[in-house]
Structure formats: C-alpha cells, structure tokens
C-alpha cells in the first residue's frame, strides 16, 4: 500500500450562531487578540459585531486592523505586524474572505518570530505562528481549514504561497454572514471552491481520503450550479456553498492545488481578475488537456452533465468578465507557469510550456 499522511487539526464549529454558542472556546488562547479584517464587509454582515460581543463577554482585550485588501500585499501585512508587536497580542482572529484570513496567518508568524519582517520570512524553514481563529465570510478559499496563505509580492510582481504551514486552531463557519453577498462575489468564490475540489481530484497526490471529499463536494456543487444559473441566492445555496468550500479546503490541505491555480495567479496579478474566476476561465481547456480522461469523466458524471463543453458553457454563463490580454502577455505567463515546479508536480501528466500556452490561448484569445 502507498504511504499516506493525513492531517486536519482545525476544530470547526459549523452552523448559524456558532460564535455566540461556542465562542468561549477561544478563551484559552490568551488575554489580547488582534482582529484582522477587510475594509467594509465584516462590519455589514454581522461577523465583526459577533466577534466583538464575544470578546467583551469573555473579557478578552483586542485591537483591530481593518485594512486588508483583496490579494493581501506584503506591505499591508508589514503594517499589521508592527501593530501586533507594539500591542503585545496573544492571538489573531481573522474575519472575512481568504484575504484577511491568509493575512492573519502571515501576521501570526511575524509576531511570533520578531526577527523577520514581511519582506524576509518567505523561503525560511517552517515557522510557527501565534494561534489563529478563522471566521470565514466567503465560501470559496477554504482557508479556514488549510495551512496555506497566499500573499502578493509586489517586488517579484506575483502572488505566492508564503510556504509556512499555519492551520487555524478554530474555525467558526456561519452561513448567515454570506446572506447578502452580491452575485459576482458569490460566483467568484463559489468557482474557487469548485476549482479546489477538481484540482485536488485530478492531482498527483490524490488519495482515497481526498477523493472522498472531492466527490462529495462536487456532488453538492452540482445543486449550487443550478441555483447560480437561476440566480437563486437563498440560504440553502449559502449553506451548500459553505460546505463545498470547507470540503475543498480539506482536500487541498492534503494534496494541494494544480496548474489552473498557478496559471490564474498571473491573471489576478496582471489583470485584476478575481481569484476563483481566474482559475475557472481556464477550466474547459484544462479539463480537455488530460490525455487520460477517466477521472475528468467522473467529475462530469457526478455533475450529471453531458460533456466538458456543457460545464464550460455553464461556467461562461455565470462568470461576468471583460478584459483584454495579448499573445505576448500569455507567452510571458506560460513561461512563469512552466517554471512553477510546486504546481507542475501536482499535475499528474507531463505538460509542456507550449501546452500551457495553448490552454491560455484557447481560453482567452477566442
Ligand atoms: P477576498 O479577497 O477575501 O474578498 C473579496 C471581496 O469580498 C472583498 O471586497 C470583501 O470585502 C468581500 N466580502 C467578503 N465577505 C463578504 C460577505 N460576506 N459579503 C459581501 N462581501 C464580502 O475573497 P476570497 O475569494 O475569499 O479570497 C481570495 C484570496 O484567498 C486570494 O488572495 C486567494 O489567492 C486566496 N486563497 C487562499 C487559499 C488558502 O488555502 N489559503 C485558497 C484559495 C485562495 P472587504 O474587503 O470589505 O472585506
Ligand atoms: Fe483558490
């Protein structure tokens, strides 16, 4: 039997009002918290108030850093690092989408290891973090149950995984925070979750445990896809997407993502396309590029669709996108992807730079 390691250490509390019901579990992480969040959404969707109410109730002091932008930059992480050290915080509560929660993980490492700044900790051997509590308000990245944090490095002009393993200690997953999310953010985060399930399933490291999460998650996504096409953004959809996202997180925590994520980062950095959409606009051609179509066919069967093109047409229908890219630009992105060993090794078949270029070209230069 092939050897296999399996680790999901995050304690998840799932359901409506989990913070008011179970929030006290965070008491053991210290006396002072740094709340890390984005500029607006957490104040509108109730998650920020729920966390503040909890901290007041259990007598935990806190400071707030609420300037995390989408695709968090090392510059912003550096500002939060300085505040966290000056304030002597014991743990971090990340509230929001993948951006604030990923930033929390990086900030947690930097406060714990004060000799590093945000510009010098990537590439070091695995560093420990302060405890992280995750309150996801999007259903996409699954970061509340993964060890990854994706940051934007403006010096190298790209997005990168920080490379240290930081699983949140606790995740509070409450679908009510997503109730009023608009259609475009709902779609871009939903297709990110879907892309995690697919890339984990079609992955060199896939195993029977990760496949179980993927098959279950893709089955739930099937129902979500129909609702997204009909623009039926009800609580049933919110709950299902939250599960799809969490299952996707469980799967990629074990096996990682693959080439669409590597290819999508260039589109997000250079063209500002949201993360999930940047992956999924490549999906029709990515799925067709497999020489062995056996597992691809299984995905299409679980979705109860006819073909890759039917899936591609559905994704085109829900993704709202208007941007221009040139052949020279995608040559450049292909070169970058062809040297991304981390993602390439997760793709189970040999793939050349020319084949990568063709995925970009057929997807984007129609
Ligand atoms: P995000 O970048 O965190 O947020 C996108 C937008 O959604 C922001 O404008 C945010 O507003 C808004 N928003 C958040 N919650 C909302 C809500 N409940 N209702 C309405 N609007 C809401 O989006 P994301 O897609 O969740 O995260 C993307 C990042 O995660 C990328 O950097 C990606 O590379 C990374 N990622 C990480 C992993 C991992 O395993 N760590 C996996 C995949 C992707 P505010 O700014 O006002 O909060
Ligand atoms: Fe992703």
Q: What is the pLDDT along the chain (366 residues), one digit of tens a residue?
A: 778 888 899 999 999 999 999 999 999 999 999 999 999 999 999 999 999 999 999 999 999 999 999 999 999 999 999 999 999 999 999 999 999 999 999 999 999 999 999 999 999 999 999 999 999 999 999 999 999 999 999 999 999 999 999 999 999 999 999 999 999 999 999 999 999 999 999 999 999 999 999 999 999 999 999 999 999 999 999 999 999 999 999 999 999 999 999 999 999 999 999 999 999 999 999 999 999 999 999 999 999 999 999 999 999 999 988 899 999 999 999 999 999 999 999 999 999 999 999 999 999 997
Each residue's pLDDT tens digit, 118-174: 999 999 999 999 999 999 999 999 999 999 999 999 999 999 999 999 999 999 999
> Which residue out of 43, 69, 185 has the highest number of ligand 1 atoms within 8 Å of its CB and is therefore the one to mutate?
185
pLDDT given at position 4? 86
Q: How far is CA 169 from CA 8, 25, 52, 89, in A?
A: 10, 10, 19, 16
Ramachandran region, residue 139 (left: φ > 0; alpha: ψ -120 to 50; beta: rest) = beta
pLDDT given at position 216? 98
**C-alpha 11 to ligand 1 mean position (Å):** 21
Of all protein residues, the one whose alpha carbon is nearest to atom 30 of ligand 1 is 98
pLDDT given at position 291? 98
What is the rounded distance in angstroms from the CA atom of residue 43 to the CA atom of residue 137?
11
pTM of structure: 0.97
φ and ψ at 19, to 5 degrees? -65, -45
Question: What CATH superfamily classification does 182-364 receive?
Answer: Dehydroquinate synthase-like - alpha domain (1.20.1090.10)
* Domain definitions of the chain by residue range: 11-177, 182-364
Residue located via tokens 């062995």: 292
pLDDT given at position 322? 87
Contacts made by residues 313-319, CB under 8 angstroms, sequence distance 24+: 314/225, 314/229, 315/191, 315/280, 315/281, 315/283, 315/284, 317/229, 318/187, 318/191, 318/225, 318/228, 318/229, 319/187, 319/188, 319/191, 319/277, 319/280, 319/281
CA angle 132, 9, 343 (to 5 degrees): 85
Residues with a CB atom less than 6 Å from ligand 1: 38-42, 45, 70-71, 96-99, 102, 137-138, 140-143, 146, 148-150, 159, 177-178, 181, 185, 189, 192, 275
| Ligand 1 atom with least separation from CA of 45 | 18
φ and ψ at 151, to 5 degrees? -125, 160
What is the rounded distance in angstroms from the CA atom of residue 92 to the CA atom of residue 112?
11
Right CATH number for 11-177 from 3.40.50.300, 3.50.50.60, 3.40.50.1970, 3.30.110.40?
Answer: 3.40.50.1970
What is the rounded distance in angstroms from the CA atom of residue 38 to the CA atom of residue 30?
23
**C-alpha 173 to ligand 1 mean position (Å):** 15
Q: Are 141 and 249 in contact (CB under 8 A)?
A: yes
pLDDT given at position 5? 86
> Which residue out of 74, 97, 176, 198 has the highest number of ligand 1 atoms within 8 Å of its CB and is therefore the one to mutate?
97
**C-alpha 356 to ligand 2 mean position (Å):** 19
């Amino acid at each position: 039997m092939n050897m296999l390691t399996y680790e999901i250490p995050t304690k998840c509390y799932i359901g409506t009002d989990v913070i008011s019901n179970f929030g006290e579990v965070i008491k053991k992480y210290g006396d002072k918290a740094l709340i890390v969040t984005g500029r607006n959404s957490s104040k509108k969707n109730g998650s920020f108030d729920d966390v503040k109410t909890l901290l007041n109730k259990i007598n935990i002091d806190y400071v707030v850093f609420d300037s995390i932008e989408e695709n968090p930059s090392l510059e912003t992480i550096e500002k939060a690092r300085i505040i966290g050290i000056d304030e002597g915080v014991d743990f971090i509560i990340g509230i929001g989408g993948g951006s604030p929660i990923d930033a929390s993980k990086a900030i947690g490492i930097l406060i714990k290891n004060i000799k590093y700044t945000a510009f010098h900790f990537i590439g070091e051997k695995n560093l420990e973090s302060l405890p992280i509590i995750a309150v996801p308000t999007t259903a996409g990245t699954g970061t509340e149950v993964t060890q990854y944090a994706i940051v934007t490095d403006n010096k190298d002009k790209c997005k990168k995984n920080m490379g240290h393993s930081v699983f949140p200690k606790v995740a509070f997953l409450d679908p009510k925070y997503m109730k009023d999310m608009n259609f475009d953010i709902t779609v871009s985060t939903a297709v990110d979750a879907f892309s995690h399930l697919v890339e984990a399933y079609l992955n060199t490291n896939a195993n029977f445990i990760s496949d179980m999460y993927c098959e279950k998650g893709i089955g739930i996504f099937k129902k979500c896809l129909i609702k997204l096409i009909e623009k039926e953004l009800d609580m049933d959809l919110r709950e299902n997407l939250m599960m799809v996202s969490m299952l996707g997180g469980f799967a990629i925590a074990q096996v990682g993502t693959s080439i669409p994520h590597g290819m999508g980062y260039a589109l997000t950095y250079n063209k500002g396309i949201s993360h999930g959409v940047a992956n999924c606009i490549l999906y029709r051609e990515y799925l067709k590029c497999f020489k062995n179509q056996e597992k691809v066919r299984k995905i299409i069967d679980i979705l109860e669709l006819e073909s890759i093109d039917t899936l591609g047409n559905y994704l085109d229908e829900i993704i709202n996108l208007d941007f221009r890219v040139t052949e020279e630009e995608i040559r450049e992105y292909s070169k970058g992807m062809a040297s991304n060993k981390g993602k390439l090794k997760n793709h189970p078949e040999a793939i050349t730079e020319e084949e990568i270029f063709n995925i970009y070209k057929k997807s984007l230069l129609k």
